[in-house]
Chain A
Amino acid sequence: MKRYALLKLIVNTGFLLSLLSAKLHADYEDFLNFDDRSFHSGDIEDVGPRWTDGFKTTIQHNHSQTTNRIIRQESSLRVEYETGFAQYWYLRVDGRYRYFWSTDALAKSRGKAYGHTKWQQGWLQYSRGACALKAGRQTLIWGEVDGTFVTDVITPFDYTEQLLTDFGNIRRAQDMIVADCFLDRSQLQLFLTPNAKTDRFQHHPLFIELQPGQPPVNLRASADEELGFRYKWMGTGYDISVMYASLYGNTPTIVLKNGQPTATVVRYDLVGLTTSIAYRRLLIKAEVAFKNNQPRLLSDQTSNQWDSALGFEYTTRTNHALNAGIWISHLENNSLDKRKTVTYTTAGWRNTYLNDTLVMSLLANRASSPRFSSIALLSEYQWTDFFNVSLAVAHANSSEDSIMIPLAADGTSITLGIKYEF
């Protein structure tokens, strides 16, 4: 009996202690005499208002090469300034001077090193009530599916810029008037471009040799005014836009005029629809557009064209950003060309590391006609608040009947960019 009573006491005590252990565990630290170390934030310099507020200066050098030749050897100085100088007004100017060293491919084709001034932006905005008007040198980007150009056809490209490491500079700004009115959950946008520009491939005339012995064709074409509108509705979890525009093609096409090859851009009408839908960590994007009067290469005929694109972006639990897209371009009534339907696919991955100072991304794309594929690994490292280093390694592969315009170097290329911003 005594042993039974003793056993019972031991069990009861053990049970009691186990229940109290959690409380004891929490209590064993004396939190009132806890680590009282502090941090003195006053040691971090505070910079007050300066006359240079509103200015941003960027000094940059880019080097790009394949295994056997230098593609780009360029230095640039960029100065930006913006200010809300009066109650309803805003001004932004953005100019860049680029110097192409003698080893640069563009300089070599020109025969010498040279400099070029580029006005990236220069506009004045007036905003009052529900509307805003912006006039001057600017870009206008439509569309949703990254890497495709179903409705993103307003602003042409400047292919003298580094496509992989300097995405912010690759658009060729135009002198435009853009009006936006914001109505509850919708936005109406109108634009007018009095004198539209086309893609830029180099800073001196580009001649394309169609056949040996034939005079090369100057790939230069002028466009006239462009105008259009877009209506955007912003719902809960989705956006949808409808648009119409009267445009000129951004890329000159060599057509036959009176039997002679000549570069031209043709006016066409664009009617389009775009949408993006967010669901949990998935973003689905889609675009469709009808474009009439599309010129055909080395022909005097035109075709209607249907473009559609579907893409998605997905963010994983561990914050990797994945994206993919497909763009299908279909020519109607095309008896001239076997390439009735052209497919472009893109895929990409992106993530940040080291407290967001390092951005890594992988980008792949493929076109069915003309056959072209490329894959690029990009890294961008913010070394300090002022210094940024970017590195891209890319491999491109194009078919023999590829586009005549050299947009990307075949084979493996490496691009290094160093930027100092303040």
Chain B
Amino acid sequence: MPKKYRSISLGNLRLLGIVIFLAATLLAGNTHADEARAIMNQVDELQRLSSNGTLTLSRLSTCRFTRPDGQFICAETPRVKIIESYSKQFGEDLKDSKSISIIQEPASERGVGMITYTYHDPSEDTESWVYLPALGRVRRMASGRGEDREPVSVFGSEFTTEDMETGKTAEYTYTIVQEGDFGGRDVWVIEAKPKPIRELRTEYSRLIFWIDKERHITLRMQTYDRRGRPFKQILFQDIAKINNHWLARDVTLVNLQSQRLSNMRTQNIAMNVDVSDDFLTQRALTDYAFRDRTLESLRSHFQ
């Protein structure tokens, strides 16, 4: 065989080997991505189902923190809000939601009520109304779609609307980066990166989820800001099974940059309890007897 022909064959073989290796890597990556998306879709769906017909009495506490001995503790007396909320899912795949929230504490905000309708269809605006006792009437708010504004703090806490929303898995790419034991649970570690459609309005460049393989629930979350620096940690604790739904009754968001944390503790919860859609209208903000009566019937299912 001519010498020239032999050297070309070796080079081509080397190149072919590289191409095969890259193809295998990409194929494995795609398969991993598909699997990661399927996992996150399932986690998201389970989270939405757990919000369907659910009444919660939550304590939302916010404080500056320190970490002596490695644990997070409040460095000041926390600001505490007690909020009673009911939510119901609607629409195709139960991706639309209606919710009502009433603040019970602190005294300065007692009686403030809010009703919110959110829609999965990005062309539909979020509708919300607020009742302020000082104002004496229900006011419609212009909330937009939430897609075109910065995430808003939820009741003044470190949680933002972005941290609380569901049904947005299509706006991220997912990769399984690790699997194994984490705190005694077998988990997937999944990395999420926002797609361009999401990048416009997110605080995060990257998110890491620790997903419990057996229960399909998030055990921990780490976010990174737009510069790739660690931003927030979300700790999911006191995980319990209620009405066949796994949920974390204690969720703490630690903002590593502001050195503040917020803890949402579910004090009481009633799941999959249906009420008339009337309860998710403006009537519930002003008809106190109706609201109180409905809440009492829901509270009888508290666990």
State the A residues within 8 Å of B (CB).
Answer: 1, 5, 8-9, 12, 15-16, 19-20, 23, 26-27, 30-32, 34-41, 43-44, 46, 56-58, 82, 84, 87-90, 92, 125-127, 132, 139-142, 155, 167-168, 171, 180, 182, 187, 234, 236-237, 239, 276, 278-283, 313-319, 352, 355-357, 382, 384-386, 388, 419, 421-422
B14 x A12 contact (CB < 8 A): yes
Residues of B within 8 A of A279 (CB): 125, 142
For residue B28, which residue of chain A has the nearest CB?
A: A23
Residues of B within 8 A of A31 (CB): 177-178, 182, 189, 208, 210
Q: A32-B189, A280-B125, A283-B142 are in contact. Are A16 and B22 (CB under 8 A)?
A: yes
The residue that A315 contacts in the complex, of B15, B21, B133, B142, with Cβ under 8 A, is B142
B141 x A283 contact (CB < 8 A): yes
Listed stretches B43-51, B89-97, B146-154; interface member: B146-154
Residues of B within 8 A of A46 (CB): 59, 267
Give the interface SS of chain A, mostly helix, strand, loop or mixed: mixed
A141 x B281 contact (CB < 8 A): no
CB-defined A-B contacts under 8 Å, sample of 24: A5-B7, A12-B18, A16-B21, A19-B22, A20-B25, A23-B29, A31-B177, A34-B222, A39-B71, A39-B235, A43-B73, A44-B265, A57-B107, A58-B107, A125-B288, A168-B133, A182-B281, A187-B282, A234-B281, A282-B142, A314-B142, A316-B149, A355-B157, A422-B107
For residue A354, which residue of chain B has the nearest CB?
A: B156
Q: Indicate if B196 sits at the interface (CB-CB under 8 A).
A: no
With both chains docked as a complex, state the minimum distance between the C-beta of A88 and any C-beta of chain B, in angstroms.
6
Residues of B within 8 A of A236 (CB): 127
Q: Indicate if B243 sits at the interface (CB-CB under 8 A).
A: no
A139 x B178 contact (CB < 8 A): no
The residue that B283 contacts in the complex, of A57, A187, A278, A281, with Cβ under 8 A, is A187
Residues of A within 8 A of B233 (CB): 35
Residues from 112 to 165 in B contacting A, C-beta threshold 8 Å: 125, 127, 133-137, 140-145, 148-150, 152-153, 155-158
B175 x A26 contact (CB < 8 A): yes
With both chains docked as a complex, state the minimum distance between the C-beta of B200 and any C-beta of chain A, in angstroms.
10
The residue that B143 contacts in the complex, of A127, A140, A239, A281, with Cβ under 8 A, is A281
A127 x B73 contact (CB < 8 A): no
A319 x B152 contact (CB < 8 A): yes
Q: Could you list 20 further interchain pairs (A-B, Cβ under 8 angstroms) beyond the known A31-B182, A283-B141?
A: A20-B25, A26-B175, A31-B177, A31-B178, A38-B71, A39-B71, A40-B71, A40-B73, A44-B263, A56-B107, A125-B288, A278-B143, A281-B142, A283-B142, A315-B142, A317-B150, A318-B150, A357-B79, A385-B79, A385-B107
For the complex, what is the distance from the CA of A54 to the CA of B29, rounded to whole Å? 58
Q: Indicate if B270 sits at the interface (CB-CB under 8 A).
A: no
For residue A355, which residue of chain B has the nearest CB?
A: B156
The residue that B61 contacts in the complex, of A19, A41, A141, A422, with Cβ under 8 A, is A41
A39 x B254 contact (CB < 8 A): yes
Residues of B within 8 A of A27 (CB): 177-178
With both chains docked as a complex, state the minimum distance between the C-beta of B263 and any C-beta of chain A, in angstroms.
5
Q: Indicate if B241 sits at the interface (CB-CB under 8 A).
A: no
B59 x A44 contact (CB < 8 A): yes
For residue A45, which residue of chain B has the nearest CB?
A: B80
A182 x B70 contact (CB < 8 A): no
B14 x A141 contact (CB < 8 A): no
Residues of B within 8 A of A8 (CB): 11, 14
For the complex, what is the distance from the CA of A316 to the CA of B134, rounded to whole Å? 25
A26 x B177 contact (CB < 8 A): yes
Q: Indicate if B77 sits at the interface (CB-CB under 8 A).
A: yes
For the complex, what is the distance from the CA of A303 to the CA of B296, rounded to whole Å? 53
The residue that B252 contacts in the complex, of A39, A142, A182, A356, with Cβ under 8 A, is A39
Residues of A within 8 A of B135 (CB): 141, 167-168
Q: Indicate if B260 sits at the interface (CB-CB under 8 A).
A: yes
For the complex, what is the distance from the CA of A61 to the CA of B231, rounded to whole Å? 42
For the complex, what is the distance from the CA of A9 to the CA of B17, rounded to whole Å? 12
Residues of A within 8 A of B178 (CB): 27, 30-32
A82 x B288 contact (CB < 8 A): yes
B136 x A139 contact (CB < 8 A): yes
Q: A141-B137, A168-B133, A388-B108 are in contact. Are A88 and B289 (CB under 8 A)?
A: yes
Q: Indicate if B214 sits at the interface (CB-CB under 8 A).
A: no
For the complex, what is the distance from the CA of A63 to the CA of B184, rounded to whole Å? 60
Residues from 9 to 27 in B contacting A, C-beta threshold 8 Å: 11, 14-15, 18, 21-22, 25
Residues of B within 8 A of A15 (CB): 18
B22 x A385 contact (CB < 8 A): no
A37 x B70 contact (CB < 8 A): yes
For the complex, what is the distance from the CA of A15 to the CA of B149, rounded to whole Å? 39
Q: Which of A46, A88, A92, A278 has the most CB of B within 10 A?
A: A278
Q: Indicate if B250 sits at the interface (CB-CB under 8 A).
A: yes
Residues of B within 8 A of A187 (CB): 282-283
Residues of B within 8 A of A35 (CB): 233
Q: Indicate if B227 sits at the interface (CB-CB under 8 A).
A: no
Residues of A within 8 A of B25 (CB): 19-20, 23
B252 x A278 contact (CB < 8 A): no
The residue that B149 contacts in the complex, of A132, A234, A281, with Cβ under 8 A, is A281
Q: Which of A32, A168, A422 has the most CB of B within 10 A?
A: A32
The residue that B293 contacts in the complex, of A88, A315, A352, A422, with Cβ under 8 A, is A88
For the complex, what is the distance from the CA of A9 to the CA of B137, rounded to whole Å? 75
Q: Indicate if B205 sits at the interface (CB-CB under 8 A).
A: no
For the complex, what is the distance from the CA of A132 to the CA of B285, rounded to whole Å? 13
With both chains docked as a complex, state the minimum distance between the C-beta of B70 and any C-beta of chain A, in angstroms.
5
Q: Indicate if B2 sits at the interface (CB-CB under 8 A).
A: no
